[in-house]
Amino acid sequence: MGGESITLDVGGMTCDGCAGRVRNALESVSGVVSAEVSHETGSAIVSHSGVSRNLMANAVLAIGYTVDGRTEEFHWRDGSVWKQSAHNTKWCLIGCSIGDFGTIAAFQFIPYLDALGWTAMSIMMLAMFNGIMTSIALETFILIKQMGGIREAFRVAIGMSLISMIAMESSMNATDLLIMGEPSLTWWVIPIMLFVGFITPWPYNYWRLKKYGLACH
């Protein structure tokens, strides 16, 4: 058999990156010739040679999207999703660390700022805010080419996961406060802060990617 074509209703796609992931998943199925996927219409038009609809649907379900209203039963055993979510978490951590550590270092090493008399909690809150801002800025820069422009890249970066960034920032600063008693950078504390900042949101990012397909790297 050859020359067949079907249309799948795919839910959960938010950008061209999502559409690309769905297309790649479908075209990796033996017997699929090509797939035209649109996140705007939520559809995938698949040209194939005798491939069952269920087999194609399962390929899309496996990467976290819905097909014809069906979702894959959630589980924590998907190694590829753990790897992808770790990659996403890593970039978020790098972005957060730039603003967070930069703010703490500024108050620690610049006498003028230290003399302003900010409380430890105020410095922590400012560090968290700046960390989230630099993380969004870095995500925007990474996504510009993929999203086709800075406006769409910024929109996607903000929506990627504010909860993940807040969890990361909170855990990093709480670790610093518990160990040092104040917002302060010491060489041996930084790796601990980075480790805690990575581990805390990682399971959430796995869950978000596996269940909803929400990650656009």
DSSP assignment of 97-163 equals HHHHHHHHHHHHH-HHHHTT---HHHHHHHHHHHHHHHHHHHHHHHHHHHHTSHHHHHHHHHHH-HH
- Phi-psi region for residue 148, left (φ > 0), alpha (ψ -120 to 50) or beta? left
Residue 203: domain span: 79-212
Most confident of 63-67, 140-144, 168-172: 168-172
105 and 199 fall within a common domain: yes
pLDDT for residue 212: 67
49 and 93 fall within a common domain: no
The model's pTM: 0.71
Q: Residue 54 is inside which H or E element, if any?
A: helix 53-61
From the list 165, 158, 209, 169, the residue with the least C-alpha distance to 193 is 169
pLDDT for residue 29: 94
Q: Return the higher-pLDDT residue of 12 and 104.
A: 104
The CATH number linked to 13 is: 3.30.70.100
- In the listed set 17, 38, 67, which residue is the last one of a domain according to the structure? 67
- In the listed set 67, 91, 120, which residue is the last one of a domain according to the structure? 67
pLDDT for residue 3: 73
What ranges in 148-201 are assigned the alpha helix state H?
Answer: 150-160, 162-180, 189-199
Residue 170 lies in a domain: yes
Q: Return the higher-pLDDT residue of 194 and 158.
A: 194
The predicted model gives 167-189 an average pLDDT of 94
pLDDT tens for 65-93 read 889 888 777 788 888 889 988 998 999 99
107 and 206 fall within a common domain: yes
pLDDT for residue 179: 95
Q: Rounded to an integer, what distance in angstroms lies between the CA atom of residue 180 and that of residue 193? A: 11
Q: Rounded to an integer, what distance in angstroms lies between the CA atom of residue 195 and that of residue 190? A: 9
62 and 95 fall within a common domain: no
Domain count, the chain: 2
99 and 132 fall within a common domain: yes
